[in-house]
Amino acid sequence: MKSLMTLGGRLTKIRTFRKMTQAALGVACGFNPTNASIRISQYEMNKKVPKDEVIDKLAEVLEISKYHLTDSDIEGVGFIIHLFWMEESDFSPFHIFPLPSAKTHPDDDSVFSIKESYGDAYKHKRKDIAIAIENPGFDEFTKRWMEMKRKLIAKEITHDEYFDWKLRWPDNADYPLPDYDAIEEFYEKNPDGVKPM
C-alpha cells in the first residue's frame, strides 16, 4: 500500500513535488549511481526503512523537516505532521477555520461550550480554531468522544470510566470504521494519492 500516511507514500509525493527522479534523489543522497534508483524505490514501496542518517540526508536534499519521514513525535510535532498528511489525502480532507463563538450550537446538544467546560483555564486572547474532517468514521468517532467528554465534565461518568472508554476504542465502537481495504485498493491504483478527475 502506498498511502500518504506511510513513509513511502510521503517520500514519493515529496520527491515528485520537488520534481526529482528516484535516481537523481538517490545520487544526491550519496548512493552509488548504479543502484540509486533501486534504493529510493525500496523506500517508496515500503520494502525497506531508511536508517536515521539516510532520513537526515533525504530531508536535507528534499529541503524538508525530517519529521515528515519518521513516525517519531517530539513535543507533538508528529501529531501535527500527521494532520498535514491527512489534509493531503483524498480520504480524509479537512478544513481549518475560525469558530464564530464557543457557545453551544442550538441544533446540536452534543456540542458544549468550551469556555464553560474549562473555565479559567480557557481564558486567553486568541480566536477559537476548529478542524472539520470529512470522513464518516472519524466524524462519528469525534461526536462520541465529545459526548463522553461532556459526560465527564457534567460528572455523569468518572474519569476512570472516561479513560476506560478511550482504552477500549475502537473495540467498543458501535459504528462503522473506515473501509481500509478500499483505501488500500485506491492507493494501489493511484500511487500518487490523487483522485482521478
The pTM of the whole model exceeds 0.75: no
For residues 88 and 11, give the distance between their C-alpha atoms in angstroms, rounded to a whole number. Answer: 13
CATH of domain 7-85: 1.10.260.40
As given in the structure block, the three cell numbers for residue 129 are 480554531
For residues 43 and 185, give the distance between their C-alpha atoms in angstroms, rounded to a whole number. Answer: 20
Contact 148, 157 (CB under 8 A): yes
- The whole-number pLDDT of residue 173 equals 72
- The whole-number pLDDT of residue 121 equals 42
Burial environment of residue 62 by CB neighbours within 10 A (0 to 12, 13 to 18, 19 or more): buried
Alpha helices in 29-179 (DSSP H): 36-44, 52-62, 77-88, 114-118, 136-153, 159-168
**Cell numbers 486568541 label which residue?**
126
SS (H, E, C) 168-192: HCCCCCCCCCCCHHHHHHHHHHCCC
Q: How many CB atoms are located within 10 Å of the residue 67 CB?
A: 18
Contact 118, 128 (CB under 8 A): no
User: Which three-class secondary structure state does DSSP give residue 127?
Assistant: coil
Mean pLDDT by 10 residues, the chain (197 residues): 72 91 97 96 94 94 87 64 72 69 45 45 55 70 85 91 79 66 61 46
Residue closest to 12 by CA, chosen among 190, 196, 161, 160: 190
Residues of the chain with CATH 1.10.260.40: 7-85
Sign for the pseudo-dihedral over CA of 106, 111, 117, 120: negative
Strands 94-98 and 129-133: antiparallel
